[in-house]
Amino acid sequence: MQRASLTSASDAEIERYGVLREPAGRDLQALVDLAADFFDVKTAAINLITSDEQHQVATAGFEASICSREDSMCAAVVDETGPVVVADASRDERFATNPFVTGDIGSVRFYASAPLITPGGIPLGRLCVFDEQPRESTPEQQRALVVLAERVMDVIELRLRNREVAHSVNELTRTRDELRRSNEALVHFAGQVSHDLRNPLMVISANAEMLSMEPAVADNPELAEMVGEISDAGTRMSRLIRSVLSHARGDGAAAFDPVPLGRVFGQAVADLRPVVGSSGANVTVGDLPSVSGDPDLLYAVALNLVGNALKFARPGTIPTVEVSSIRHDGWWRVLVRDEGIGIPDEHAEAVFRPYVRLTDTDTDTDSGSDSDDEVDGHGVGLATVTRIIESHGGRVGVDTSQSVGTTVWFELPARLDELTHVESHAG
């Protein structure tokens, strides 16, 4: 039973190494030639032993061939962990009736071999030298045969690693190409969206400007304030479109300045006031730090995260969104927690990729609609967030462990001046 299990393991390892599917090559041929020269014989072979055959993958002095396992001399001693040296095989009970000794296939007398063993201890075969004349060998020759067998395994192992590396390179190349195509699609999408948004935005801004000059508006402080907010929001939106589009295209580095995130998130909540008001949502923004970054891009992050938290509310419930922050190991983590439909664990990474959108089916939420596309969007919001945060040297993630809702978080490095101040104060 143990022999059968070992044989099966050997078959699996020979297949994994793939040595039977490729030419011997100059390296293995050089090793088998060196073994023959060192013993001053004309014939040598690298034999791999499967469950039913012996494969000569490299030979010296004769053409490589395949024979049955039961006819193989090396198969008789394949489980030996050290060298096997026989001056006259016709006088050794292990080989005396072997067809390579009796004359049926050959007339081998001198035989010496060393094991080919994987790093995991699985025997693959033997490196052997042989002659038709009986002869003696020296301890130095026997040690050299073991060393050469180890070098054979080094070559086989190296070939496997080279194939694995080549496969990994191919996978990385494929991933790079897919990422490039995804980025190109994102840039195209950003360009199209920015073009589609600019025209109606210009109309809104122009109308707001004309309204502000109307006597009925100018003389009414409440109306004037409302129109002013519309105009300011239009200005911010125009700046945001330019900034996000420039970032998507990679047009130069973002301007990194001290950015108070409390003000950024407060402005995002203010601009989402129609959504907050119509849903009766409860949105709280806690104490948030200042970080180094581009204020327009970080505003896009805040707008996306708070907007998503409001958008994916549970049907029939009032949306609740809480923005907070924690400090750890030189990083600020900003958390946007909601009590919405949540994100299943299996989708926690996918939602940050472009054009990925979750439906009611994905979240196991019954909205009372027959459509899986009830929530508007194109699936680029979190992908945009990821791109912006990573360009700021940060990272993004989602916590799906809470029983209700989701917490999406991002981390940014704490500002250097803040760290210096904290360290000096601690000292």
- What pLDDT was estimated at residue 105? 94
pLDDT tens track for 168-221 = 888 888 888 887 787 777 667 666 666 566 656 666 767 777 777 788 777 888
Name which of 289-303, 376-390, 396-410 the model is least confident about. 376-390
The total domain count for the chain is 2
Looking at the fold, whether 25 and 144 belong to one and the same domain comes out as yes
Percent of the chain whose predicted confidence (pLDDT) is above 90: 45
Looking at the fold, whether 146 and 266 belong to one and the same domain comes out as no
For residue 406, the domain's CATH number is: 3.30.565.10
Taking a C-beta distance cutoff of 8 angstroms, is the pair 92, 69 a contact?
no
Q: Would the pLDDT of 110 be above 90?
A: yes
Q: Is residue 415 part of a domain?
A: yes
Q: Is residue 395 part of a domain?
A: yes
Q: Is residue 121 part of a domain?
A: yes
Q: How far apart are CA 109 and CA 90, in angstroms?
A: 6
Q: How far apart are CA 49 and CA 66, in angstroms?
A: 10
CA distances from 62 to 33, 56, 59, 109 (A): 11, 10, 6, 17
Q: Would the pLDDT of 297 be above 50?
A: yes
Q: Is residue 261 part of a domain?
A: yes
Boundary-marking domain end, from 125, 148, 166: 166
Residues 6+ apart with CB under 8 A from 9: 122
Boundary-marking domain end, from 166, 189, 207: 166
Region 277-287 average pLDDT: 90
More confident residue, 321 or 426: 321
Region 303-320 average pLDDT: 88
Nearest to 195 by CA among 245, 233, 243, 230: 245
Q: How far apart are CA 259 and CA 117, in angstroms?
A: 62
Looking at the fold, whether 151 and 263 belong to one and the same domain comes out as no
- What pLDDT was estimated at residue 1? 39
Determine the structural domain holding residue 326 and report its residue range.
253-426
More confident residue, 23 or 231: 23
Nearest to 356 by CA among 193, 194, 172, 186: 186
